[in-house]
Structure 1
């Protein structure tokens, strides 16, 4: 009986030892598997991160950063910093000359009306010239204005003599203020002197001073002034500065009378010839752009 108990005890010990060994082996295997899974997971994560980084770099190589408008802007209006928004665009879908720097955009004006989300290029913008030291405001009530003229329109101011000679007096002037027949523009010193000469010329010779509006001022080039300041008139202004104000007053109140007087001294034949030359000049201007050819005196 004691032998049986001893044998049973030995078998139990052997069984427990075997179970312990199996448990150790299983635990070792489990630890090994866990390490393998962790290693595989780490390798997979690193591989995915590497691929994601490659895709990001590829995207960066294939995309570019540019600036678009955050709102609609009318022609001639400046762009402010808050009007811009940075965007990422495919490199093969943008023009080569797109503008990358916000600093080179802000402060410039648009040539044409632009809508929101428009990608900006140099051809769409222009920079205003710096303000000269001799620039001054000038009100004019003696200029014959187009009926449809509006504030902020851009005009050339011209002078036309009864002989038919027509000169550009002031070029590409923006109408800063418009109040009935009174307009306000900016002039530099040379333009002020030239205008004074033209006003007295118009007063003495019954010429008319009138304005013509640009169609697309942001796209059209500035005309070249062709009016030659009259030295004799400038000397007269020096001797009698008040003649300019008298001339302006006379022109402001008698533009219609001057026109009727000019028409009355022209014979029907001369009037027809003058109208024909006017039509020819308009046709040439329409076919070749701005024309500044002076018409010789044939009267």
Structure 2
């Protein structure tokens, strides 16, 4: 009887132990599945976040641009060496459009302003010369005949040619800041002396039927700046000699004599048979004709014409150079703006 009771107890103990083991295993397995599912969800969410960040980063990298930043502080007027800058990629959406992306456009240049480390350099922050000329100003012209393929940042000479074929350099090797070919505008910097030369050349364009035009350089880095050999009229020479902003006065010592000889040669051809070489006087001239060909609007005739402050007091509309001055048409009729624009 005792043996049977012991066996029964043992059997119940075994069954109870198995049930406890099964229940414990079930609880553990359920807990494992729960936490494992949660871990999988978190991993999937994390991977999705990484994927989104990679896409955003790649999008920024695709829209980035090369820039050069300073690695040390620099003062205005100091030269920039190769060790002063390093190349970096900056997001295009948050960077200025005029960032310098080539080291050759920076090394050897001079800073215009004080700059701290990490400053991304732009075209407006550097210049070729160490110091600015005190008289340097921004120049805007519309009276110079431009090459048909002229572009922004081209380097040019501004020249003048007289009706007798004499050709002179007015201003040499100017870097254009901007160009508007449709309206024949150009923009560049010049100093006091160059400004005086341009204004004097404009007067010659009116009085002596000369033409101002630009010539582009082939390789400006390899070609030196020429010596300007244009001599303005005697009144302008007197202004130059009294102008304290023009330092180099020595080169103008013989200018009056040279100009006098030039005017004698020009006077010799003023017998009624002189011709225009290229464009006429700036207003209503061949420059305007070129604008018309390119689709610009006609210029209204004005009895008092002014270009850069130079006023034509003749109260006449300029005559087209393609018509002989001795013909009855020129003697009896005033040329209209429409005929000028049509080249008639």
- TM-score class normalised by the smaller sequence: 0.3 to 0.5
Higher relative contact order (CA 8 A, sep 6+): 1
Point out the structure with max Rg over C-alpha. Answer: 1
Give TM-score, length-normalised by structure 2: 0.37
Give TM-score, length-normalised by structure 1: 0.42
Greater helix share, 1 or 2?
1
